[in-house]
Chain A
Amino acid sequence: MLNSRYSFGGDEHIFVEVSEEMSLEAFFKALSMTNAVREASIKGVTEICPANASFQIKFDPDLIHPDDLMSELKRMEEEAGRASPVLNTRIIEIPVYYQDPWTHETLMRFRERHQDPSSSDIDYAARINGFASVDEFIAAHSGQPWFVSMVGFVSGLPFLYQMVDRPHQIQVPKYLRPRTDTPKLTVGYGGCFSCIYSVRGAGGYQMFGITPMPIYDPTQQTGYLKDFMVFFKPGDIVKWKPIDRAEYDRCVAAVEANTFAPRIREVEFSLDAFNADIEGTNAKLLEALNAD
């Protein structure tokens, strides 16, 4: 049973920590509570931000007293606990060029900020997670699907949670000191989360590779980002597809010609079914992704 912790973030935010530690249970509870708050259309609530194992509400205290909103949220927690953790969502295949030259060039520039200056980020991650080789590590990273448990930090950046049991989850510390540069579309890793850097900039996550697929386009020229500039939303499921340089170049050319279309399939995800049979649930998700 997860007992949420409530706190005011100044006079304009309420911060709710569903659980200190990450789990899909905590994510689902945070998501169902934020959905309940959105549906309730509470006067004065201006922003609803779900996160991995917590969420945040921004409000206008001129329209609702902070204590009243706090009571309302606590009341909603009881209802959210009864919601069945089923999500109609989509699974997306994201091509990844692991060990690409661009993130490699960048990680070499910031070696003195890393735990192990003598190896690359992915060598280090493979070693501390007990993999015999980088290839085995890539197979583990790309073999099972991932859950988008938060969108944020900057411009549509997804945090992704590995859909395997806890003993098999990859964990990697962040850089000792954040880099001042990260290539756009770097596939990164910090704590138990993968991410895709949506834009170029500072970052503290380990860098494993790069995707040719834009996930944020403020100009909305990219075909699949015409309706909205941000690609991901919490609850999306992702499958990484390892690609080589030739495939990467083909994808980039397709993106530039605006003919690149990500493989996306609609799926239903049930947390109970997942917990009962992780491998079986994932196999069905991948079957849906690969069906034509």
Chain B
Amino acid sequence: MPIDVRKTGLATTVQDLGRPGYYHLGIPMGGAMDRFALRCANLLVGNDEGAACLETVFMGPELTFTEDTLIAVTGAELPPKIDGEIRETWTALAVKAGQTLSFDYLRAGARAYIAFAGGIDTPPMLGSRSTYAIGGLGGIDGRAVQAGDVLPLGTPARPVAEGRTLAERLRRLPGNPAELRVLPGLYWHRITEASGERFFAETWKVALEADRMGYRFQGGTPMEFVDREPPFGAGSDPSNITDACYPYGSIQIPSGTEPIILHRDAVSGGGYFMIGTVISADMDLIGQLQPQTPTRFVKVNMHTALAARRERASQLAAMREALG
């Protein structure tokens, strides 16, 4: 039971939970930037948590259904409209053959996840349907969804009732200002102590260059580097290193000016120093930041990072329990 794509919105891609295992070859894990939202959208319509959904940014696509099905929209507060009528987010909605799904304007967040009963059934590549456009993998012919595409759906795993919803207290979007917790490390020693303190004290802003590969931030004071002789092979700029791997969530600051946090479609390595890494518990939040959002980086230690990770796991368990 295919879905016809009438309009695509700004950037709409097929995503699941990604393809870990190939980062050493420059192929990133990919998958939903907000994994919690994707899992929830799938559970609402009776899918396995990792089924493929549409990830849409700022404004949604317009889709027409050829058969009756069940859908759910989670993540950003981007209200769905069925034949023009505004409906609830984070809720299983029945749609009938011939009806059209479109979206109202964005109220909060940045990325919405649209799940369909049965999941999107495009061919998996390297174990995932996630679209990695740079490498031409996944999705439809390795690219974002276009008008005129037909999205195939799988067979629904289990029947669920429409109207099921996830309570608001179990949802999660970044605050304003947003707070991202960071474990300092990697090449932290390349900047002065005062510069490091300032990085955490100042409020930064999300720049326009913010996509699946990475989020850029502006508005803070440029870094002050510790003097050095450039190591052979690194390059002459004080922000250069001998090209190395980049952790997911690592914060690089090319030329010491604008921090970039690498996300699910990260470049796997390069020649810029990094001052630390956003903790795993806060990665989902990054994909929900709109440009211009004021953002604070909060310094944490490993103990706090692991405690936050456990807290996220219990929130996920609570969501599964609620929709189980």
Contacts and interface: CB of A to CB of B under 8 A. Distances in A.
A159 interface: yes
A78 B233 CA distance: 26
Contact of B305 (A10, A23, A47, A51): A10
Contact of B232 (A21, A152, A201, A219): A21
Contacts of B249: 9-10, 12
Interface residues of B, number: 49
B25 interface: yes
A218 interface: yes
A266 interface: no
A156 B25 contact: yes
21 contacts: A7-B188, A9-B183, A10-B278, A11-B183, A13-B248, A13-B250, A15-B186, A21-B231, A21-B232, A22-B234, A51-B244, A53-B244, A61-B280, A151-B26, A154-B268, A155-B134, A174-B271, A199-B135, A218-B135, A218-B142, A219-B136
B269 interface: yes
Interface string B100-124: 0000000000000000000000000
B153 interface: no
A8 interface: yes
B193 interface: no
Interface string A102-146: 000000000000000000000000000000000000000000000
B247 A12 contact: yes
A190 B185 contact: no
B277 interface: yes
Contacts of B186: 7, 9, 15
A10 B136 contact: no
Given A47-B23, A58-B20, 15 more contacts: A10-B280, A20-B231, A20-B234, A46-B21, A47-B24, A52-B243, A54-B245, A58-B23, A152-B23, A152-B24, A154-B134, A159-B243, A174-B235, A191-B234, A193-B233
A41 to B, nearest CB: 14
B135 A154 contact: yes
Interface string A190-217: 1111000011010000000000000010
A156 B268 CA distance: 10
Interface in A1-51: 7-13, 15, 17, 19-23, 46-51
Nearest to A155: B135
A186 interface: no
Contacts of A58: 20, 23, 247-248
A173 interface: yes
Contacts of A198: 26
A185 interface: no
Contacts of B268: 49, 152-154
Contacts of B242: 19-22, 52-54, 191
B309 interface: yes
B137 interface: yes
A113 to B, nearest CB: 13
Contacts of B183: 8-11
A154 B302 CA distance: 29
